[in-house]
Chain A
Amino acid sequence: MALKTETMILNMGPQHPSTHGVLRLELELDGELIVNVKPHIGYLHRCFEKHAEAMSYPQVIPYTDRMDYLASMYNNFGYVIAVEKLLGIQVPERVEYIRVIMGELQRIASHLVAIGTNGLDIGAFTPFLYLFRDREKILSLFEMTCGARLLYNYMWVGGLSHDIHPDFVRLTKEFINYFRPTITELNNLLTFNKIFIERTANIGVLPLDTAINYGVTGPSLRGSGLAFDIRKEDTYSIYDRFDFEIPVGQGLVGTVGDSWDRYYVRILEMEQSLRIIEQAIDQIPDGDVKAAIPKRIKPPKGTVYTRVENPRGELGYFIISDGNLNPFRVKVRAPSFVNLEVFGELCKGHLVADVIAILGSIDIVLGEVDR
């Protein structure tokens, strides 16, 4: 007679050091193997979309900061592009260049946290400290520009809140020179560390067709081997003027699309971001940082959907305007929200300990998942 066995339900979170915030996972276990994962979200639902309907167009910008708080600059970026498209205005060249530089610096800062916490969850504490040290350097560049460390409210509709500091160009170049070698250091310390590879190679393999069907974007999709990047695919701002590559996962130490590939794509992306900044920083033209736009922003009736490549993937803003001062509806296509959906698929058949390695590699920000 066969013994009847039952699966066990294990609850993980919302208070758990490795869920990157307040995510609750319901794990169904067969011994140590994962049969099923059910994420429960909404513990940080801060009603962004309701606020957007109650505020005027420029007032929404600080709330976009608070969605993906690791990539605030980029959230501003996506939103102002959408509103500018709705208004049909062009921003000055100088603004475009500064926006791109800020966006790419933000991408590096965000990837540093992603990589650091991914390592930290698996047990590598030292890289976390190193990476936060480097991140502070970027934050001080931001602070010099707009006075804030984390939530900037920097990009405004039709321009920027402040011009850059006279020292900004010099310090950014210094940062680039400083940061290039630290990537190599990081590779020696963590990327090609044997323990790290053992924990992440061949873990949580995401096949390409599953990724596309689930709508996964960003480094998670590129880790699966498709060079899909909105900066090239559906180019916006002035990204078409720069020369950069789109790194994809190649299965260097395991299978294409495993956790290590997703991790490594981020490292390579930081190098590409440095390249973009290097090209842009020398070309910043002189000029004003505010376009001539009316004080009261009142777009015509209509809808617009724009998307940008946020450090986590495709960030889309769908705005419906009814011709008033407030947006009628703002829907955010949050990359983390969509990327987290596939998480259950990735975990099936792995061990409990792999859950956090996989979660770290898809890099979610709960503020954006729940909005």
Chain B
Amino acid sequence: MYSFDYARAKNAKDAAKLLAKKEAKVVAGGMTLLPTMKQRLAKPSLLVDLAASKDLKGIKKAAKALTIGAMTTHAEVAHSSVVKGACAALAALAEGIGDPQVRNRGTIGGSIANNDPAADYPAACLALGATIVTTQRKIPADKFFKGMFETALKRNELVTAIQFPMAEKAAYIKFPNPASRYAIVGVFVAKFKDEVRVAVTGAGPGVFRVPAWEEALAKKWSADAIAAGAVKAADMNSDIHATAEYRAHLCAVMAKRAVAAAK
């Protein structure tokens, strides 16, 4: 780790101000950022800690949407009765991230700002059609996730909350990498009154939707509607754990299981 300065932001606005300093970076749970710094792959001059920014925390349910503050930890989402009631699939997803230590520190804001191509939350955001609320604007999930580790966020822009519309049914099924337990393939399906959305994480260079499955499921909500072949091996990642063919195959298997499990 290189040496760096440290500041604790009082709230989101304060954090955005502190971020103006060159090479400054916010730290949320630190579960991704600190290991990267230890490996000397990141070299922030100033770490702006969001831990004391109470305005970034909390879970609220309104008629149409569930709002989760950026600094809400995975464990808080997993154990929240509000989340369980509004979207059990989201709570279950959070419970499946990493290990207890990671869940007690890692945050939803950090996870989506980081946009790891194998992370779980981006699939939920995309499939549920979430809105990412930032210090500057509201960004639909469809426009937020850009490619590997890239988002629509500008340099001084912070995620403050995520608003999830309520689905009739939803489920997330993850095929974990045996070593890291990140997703080799994770599929989130969400059924709304007038549409179905399917998002896949882990399989490709970034989280993506599968229109063919969405249309098929909108016509007929059944695991049989998932046709293999809609996800092509040519678009998949390949590594020692899973070839592109295997990933493409797993996408269909996980999607079917998600439809069958959706509540």
Whether A and B are associated in the same complex: the answer reads no
List residues of chain B with CB under 8 Å of any chain A CB: none
The chain A residues found within 8 Å of chain B, CB to CB, are none
